[in-house]
Structure formats: structure tokens, C-alpha cells
Structure 1
Amino acid sequence: MERDHNIKPSDKHYACFVDLLSRAGCLEEADALVKQIPIEPNTDVLEALLNGCRIHKNINMGIQIADRLISLDYLNTGIYVMLSNIYSEARKWESVNYIRGLMRIRGLKKTPAFSLIEVGNQVYTFFAGDDSHPGWVDIKQLLENLRLEVEASGYVANTSCVLRDVNESMKVQLLWGHSERLAIAFGLLTTPYGSLIQITKNLRVCVDCHTVTKYISKIVKREIIVRDANRFHHFVNGECSCNDYW
């Protein structure tokens, strides 16, 4: 970049490179790159490395990176949540409770997940586990039908996405209450057959919901677009535009 194009790498460039290495599992190389950055790395760079630690379950490095992040931005709720998720996936529930207690002491709250869908010029909001919608009975029945169909197609629930200390059957139940699934089911019930379904979610789509939505798009023969906190996901016939990278 500097030699051939006279472009001095910015924080965003370093964050992208660290993200690529981290997602590929090259955590040591990513950490070495962070240490080579000529200026103090910003939170985007460190969060990219922390996310890689979460994906590849490197708890020790994740804790070290989280400590650095918290010292830089102790009011950033996302850092605490990601560290809590790392502990949860490792079944370290005492550590999870400690992090959540620390958030309470510091007056921080996790942003609740919700999804939006517009039908007939009206926007409908769904929260995870929300059964308050007037059409809840039909939504619940459709989700149950979809669950049976996707399981028959080979889907196996990724319960590591449920970051609570409950049994496996409850984890599966919680997954099927995620807000984007409720919004998709509502869209299937209230829009013309074959029409595009568009969902907006305030947080990142979890791995299991991403997999399920691919299956659903193929089963119901619908295009589904989900705009999450990171990017657009365009699901068509069992595939996503992100190629499972997000």
C-alpha cells in the first residue's frame, strides 16, 4: 500500500486485516500484527481480534484482549457481552455471572435483540421470545412446521448460540424464538406467495439463524433479505450472498 500506491494504512485497514486473520484462525499472526501497528490500536482493531478469539474459542487470548478493550472504553457494552459469550461457550458460568454483575455495577445494559418488518405500510417489531403479537398462534404454528421441515432437510441446531445454562431442548426452543425467525414467519403469513421478504435486525444475526434462514428460503421458495448490524444477507434457494462469512 505504501510502496506501490502511496497509501498510509489507517485504523480501518488494520481492522480489516486483523479481522481476516482472526476469522481464518490465525490468531497468533493477528496478535503479532496488532503489536506491529505504529500507533495505539483503536477499539475496532481489538474487537476484530476479540471476535476471532470467540469464533475459535481461544479463551486466554480473548480475556487479555477484552481487558485491553475495557481499559480503553469501559462503557462499551459490546465488549462485556462478547467476553460473556466467550465464557458462555466455554461453559464457564461463574465467569459469565461475574461479567454480568460487573455490567450491572457499572450501569450497563445489553441491547435487546429485535427485528423489524414492514407489511402494508406498517412496521412490525419482534423481540426475541415475544408472544405478544395478535397473530402469535399462527406464527408459532408456522415456526413449528418450518422446524420440522428444516430438520427433515438435514438441519441440526447449533445450540452454542444459546448463551444460557439450560438443557439442550430448552436451547432449541430459545433459538426458535429469535426475533428474525418471528419476523420471517410473520412475513410468510402476511405477504403474497413468492414475494420478497425484507427484515432489519438491530444486532448481528446468529450462526444458527443464518443457517435456518438458508433452509427456509429453499423450502418456501422465497428470497429473504436480512439487514443486520454488519451487512445485508440475501438468501436465495438455500444460499446467502455473504457465502457464510460475516
Structure 2
Amino acid sequence: MPPPKTPSVKLFGGDKLSPLKEAPHDMRDEILRLLNELMMEMKKRGYVPDTSFVMHDLEEHKKEQQLYMHSERLAVASGLLKSVPGTVIRVVKNLRVCGDCHTVLKLISDITHRQIVVRDANRFHHFEGGICS
């Protein structure tokens, strides 16, 4: 069986970031703290996790936890922490972005006033100001 797929993350300047699942990750706590702050702000703006994108038969709160740890969210949070304001965050992902993560990335681009570009298995997504072009 092939190893699980994880995205690689590159900032506009070309720096490559290591995935959170690599242990020990030097920024794990900071990444999770930032994601938690962003999640609280998104929920204030009306975001409700779409757990239909979790394929496992789990309790609802565990499905939300599964979504919370999707690799593109972790990658974007890592990019936000490691870059200077105004830098474009670029994520390269070898799988498709799920619909819930698409919604989340639109919100993160609006909250942080940052441009986020994600290349997934099918297309480029350009998130800016809460919109995907």
C-alpha cells in the first residue's frame, strides 16, 4: 500500500515547509493555536463545518476534528506563521481540496488579508478576500 499523501508547502519566496505530521515538528503547538484562533473567528462569521466530507462513520464532533486536521489547513497555518505579512501562501497538494476546506480557505484569506494559492490534483485555487477565483 502506498504511503498516505501529504501536501508540500512552498512560500512565495521558495521556502519549503515540512508537514505537521513529521515528528517532531518544531511549530506544532503554534500551528494548532493559530488554527484554533482562526476557527473561532470563522465560527463568529457563521462558519459551520460540513462533516459530509468525512467518509468515516464517526460521532459528529470527531468528524469536525478530522476536518480540522486536513493537511491544507495545517499547511496554510504553517505558511502564515513562517512568512511576513503580504506574502502569498502557496500550497501544492496531490489530492483534491474537499468542499469544507475550500470554504475554510476562503474565510482564512479574508480574516488574514492574505492571498492563498492552492494547486490540488485538478486545478489552481486563488483565494483572496474571501473569494476563490
1:16-35 matched pairs, under 5 angstroms: none
- Structure showing greater relative contact order (alpha-carbon pairs closer than 8 Å, 6 or more residues apart): 2
Partner of 1:37: none
Post-superposition CA distance 1:42-88 (Å, at most 9, x none) = xxxxxxxxxxxxxxxxxxxxxxxxxxxxxxxxxxxxxxxxxxxxxxx
Greater share of helix: 1
Greater fraction of residues in strand? 2
CA contact (8 A) 2:89 2:117 kept: yes
In structure 2, the partner of 1:192 is: 84
The partner residue of 1:226 within 118, 122, 125 is 118
- Number of residue pairs matched by the alignment: 131
What percentage of residue pairs aligned between the two structures are identical?
A: 47
- 1:161-202, CA deviations, whole angstroms, 9 ceiling, x for partnerless residues? 111111111111111101000110001101011211100001
* Amino acid in structure 2 at the alignment position of 1:154: G
TM-score when normalising by structure 2: 0.91
2:55 equivalent among 159, 163, 166: 163
SS in structure 1 of the partner of residue 16 of structure 2: strand
Deviation of 1:115 (Å): 1.4
Over the aligned positions, Cα root-mean-square deviation in angstroms equals: 1.7
* Equivalent residues in 2 for 1:1-246, closer than 5 Å: 109=1, 112-119=4-11, 121-126=14-19, 130=21, 132=23, 133-241=25-133
CA distance in 2: counterparts of 1:238 and 1:201, whole angstroms = 20
Q: CA contact under 8 A between 1:113 and 1:179: conserved in structure 2?
A: no
Task: Note the C-alpha offset of 1:206.
Answer: 0.4
SS of equivalent to 2:10: strand
1:121 to partner: Cα distance: 4.5
Secondary structure of the structure 2 residue equivalent to 1:233:
strand
Q: How far apart are residue 232 of structure 1 and its match?
A: 0.2
Amino acid of the structure 1 residue aligned with 2:19: F
- Unaligned runs of 5+ residues in structure 1 are 1-108, 242-246
Residue type of the partner of 1:113?
K
Give the 3-state SS of the residue equivalent to 1:198 in structure 2.
strand
Is the CA contact 1:226–1:234 (under 8 Å) kept in the aligned structure 2?
yes
Distance in 1, Cα, partners of 2:36 & 2:101: 15
- The answer to whether the Cα contact below 8 Å between 2:116 and 2:127 also exists between their aligned partners in 1 is yes
Q: Structure 2: which 5+ residue stretches go unaligned?
A: none
